[in-house]
Amino acid sequence: MANLKLHISEDGLRREVKSGGELPDLFFEAQPRRGAMAPAVDGGDFALIAMLPIAMQAGKDLHAEFDVDSVLLDGLDHFQDVWCDWRPDIFRKKIKITTAGEYVREPVAQRSQDAVAAFSSGLDSTFTLSRHACKDAGRATRNVRTAVMVHGFDMPLDAEEGFETLARNGSAICDELGVQLVTVRTNWRRLVSNWEMTFGAGLASVLHQFSGGHGIALVATEESYQNSFPVWGNSFWSDRFFSSSGMKLESDGGAYDRIERARYVGRHRKLVPHLRVCWAGPRTGQNCGVCPKCVLTKLNFVAADVPQPWPFSEGLTEDLIAKMPLRTRWQRQFLELILSKLESNPAVEASIVSAVAARLDRDARANDPGKILVSGLKAVIGSPLAFMSGRARNSRNRHAKHDTPPEAAN
């Protein structure tokens, strides 16, 4: 059994989780930007969330030498049931969790209704941040006070200059929206064996470190409900397991596909130059403009009628589309969806539509010489819900290497 101990620096900005060598040591370092308030430490819930997937992968029971929220413990029990069934190749067994004690926070009406939002300066998280800051989310609108950007997740810890460039662009977006930005540096990603299936827990552990002043945490969905990934590191299916009596985790934006999100963000012209979507190019904090994610984002802008300038050094060309690698079925799936939108938009240049169709046709023939391309998502995967359920049924027999990140298409 691993006994978890929490160590917090005098200024409260560095938090360490140790287990006497049974599991790797974990750290988080918070850096408030431009006068932002430092996150207030409110218990050790975040530490248990962070260490749970690591312990499950190692097959070690956990004892938290601190009190833990009872509602969260119920959710983590359910989290284990789901993931041990979905991916037993990653999560070896359901482990036992014990704690020094349990507690429940005051009723919802007495808690802070301020929200903290996970933020990367990408399209999805900028959509979430801006629609709440601008009060455009209807009844779902939350009072977003803080955005948190993580160094050590998409941006490696050794890419310090690249992260600072990313943080400057994030700060520009937050300043425009009147939201404070805090960055958090952590080695959590280095400690997990499968990032794609576990990153939701890492993100939740960061957000819970803001529970002292925030009662709600927002996480942008990877995709729309219609085109979602049930067996994935974070989704509206499983994010709720990380809620506690003191902090409610909410998945946001699932009613909108990425083209609709691009259209909304595109109306806020001052935000567009600071979007950073690239993860496959050099870790400079800039968009490379040529990787699948960058090219697909350009196509999203075209389909959404977002005028240039865009946050890329060059625009969209037929040659870029033709040379775009399609390494995963997720990229092919997203490109099919984009094509269906392009075909229904008479304002899009015919040469761009033809280039996308030709790229998909070439990919279809390479993967199945007898297949004839039929435009539209349903022609490739049938009903999105049927596709989702089929993936869930087969997931336990699929090795992690087959679950390629959909972030490649964000």
Q: Are residues 292 and 221 in the same domain?
A: no
Task: Judge whether 206 lies within some domain.
Answer: yes
Q: What angle do CA 245, 246, 247 make, to 5 degrees?
A: 100
Task: Judge whether 258 lies within some domain.
Answer: no
Q: Are residues 356 and 240 in the same domain?
A: no
Q: Are residues 309 and 202 in the same domain?
A: no
Q: Are residues 215 and 290 in the same domain?
A: no
Q: What tens digit of pLDDT does each residue of 351-376 get?
A: 999 999 999 999 988 876 444 443 33
Q: Are residues 243 and 287 in the same domain?
A: no
Which structural domain, as residue segments, surrounds residue 23?
2-252
**What local confidence, expressed as pLDDT, does residue 108 receive?**
61
Q: Are residues 52 and 121 in the same domain?
A: yes
Contact 274, 177 (CB under 8 A): no
Number of domains observed in the structure of the chain:
2
Task: Judge whether 264 lies within some domain.
Answer: no
Q: What tens digit of pLDDT does each residue of 318-350 get?
A: 999 999 998 877 788 889 999 999 999 999 999
**What local confidence, expressed as pLDDT, does residue 125 receive?**
98
CA separation for the pair 199, 53 (Å, rounded): 9
Residue numbers in the chain where pLDDT is lower than 70:
107-111, 368-410
Q: Are residues 314 and 356 in the same domain?
A: yes
- Name, in order, each residue with C-beta under 8 angstroms of 401's C-beta and a sequence gap of 6 or more: none
Q: Are residues 247 and 287 in the same domain?
A: no
Task: Judge whether 262 lies within some domain.
Answer: no
Q: Are residues 71 and 204 in the same domain?
A: yes
Contact 232, 197 (CB under 8 A): yes
Has this prediction a pTM greater than 0.85? yes
Q: Are residues 246 and 289 in the same domain?
A: no
Q: Are residues 81 and 189 in the same domain?
A: yes
Q: CA-CA distances (angstroms) from residue 280 to 233, 276, 292, 329, 356?
A: 19, 12, 8, 17, 21
Task: Judge whether 271 lies within some domain.
Answer: no
